[in-house]
Amino acid sequence: MGLFITFEGGDGSGKTTQIAAIKVALESRGLEVLTSREPGGTELGAKIRQLLLFGGEVAPRAEALLYAADRAQNIATRVRPALERGAIVLEDRYIDSSVAYQGGARSLGAEEIRELSMWATDRLTPDLTLLFDVPTDVGAQRVGGEKDRLEAEGLAFHESVRRAYLEMAAGEPERFRVIDAAAPIEQVTAAALAAIEPLLERAR
């Protein structure tokens, strides 16, 4: 099996930038790296992403179910096959995002949302989760251009998301590494690579 590394954080935390940088760093060592995102990592997922983020009003429970459907397709058709051939998978958002956004900020219940996604993914758990933490107001300032439906939520919503993430990280310190995403980009990348390195050493 390969390595499954998830990238989590609120909007504007820089996850997508860091995935690109880390992919380059790992591939420079001759490693196979697959990147994916949720929602939207598959053809079906791209359609779900459009509905979720730009399709108008979505009821909270419908939102949770759509994310779970996207996740089920992504894990079954892209992530598991890559892991089975020994690749490193860098995933932009995973179950913890649903727990933070729908379970926490939408008040649907963390355990209920987690169990839904665990069922959808046949209980695939990351080897490592990097949480890119940034103050809510800083994240909001970083989000530019047209905002999607979740990015456009108020600061109170995004503060609830951040709080839920930090609570999860505190509860599972063996899986999470919290990274100060307010630091310069190069420092953030270095911290992320330092967190990944022990996994690479064990995999050798």
Instruction: Choose among 27, 179, 170, 159: nearest CA to 90.
Output: 27
**What is the DSSP annotation of 90-126?**
EEES-HHHHIIIIIIIT-S-HHHHHHHHHHHTTT---
Is 14 flagged in the annotation as binding? yes
Residues with Cβ within 8 Å of residue 184, at least 6 apart in sequence: none
Is 147 flagged in the annotation as binding? no
Is 40 flagged in the annotation as binding? no
Distance between CA atoms of 191 and 195, rounded to whole angstroms?
6
Torsion of CA 19, 21, 24, 28, to 10 degrees: -120
Is 10 flagged in the annotation as binding? yes
What DSSP state is assigned to residue 181? Answer: T
Identify the helix (H) or strand (E) that includes residue 81: helix 80-84
Identify the helix (H) or strand (E) that includes residue 43: helix 43-54
Is 55 flagged in the annotation as binding? no
Our CA angle for 51, 57, 63, nearest 5°, is: 60
Is 15 flagged in the annotation as binding? yes
Distance between CA atoms of 138 and 191, rounded to whole angstroms?
20
Is 16 flagged in the annotation as binding? yes
Q: Which pair of structure tokens corresponds to residue 155?
A: 């600061």
- Residues making up the annotated binding site for ATP are 9-16
| Residue stretches of the annotated binding site | 9-16
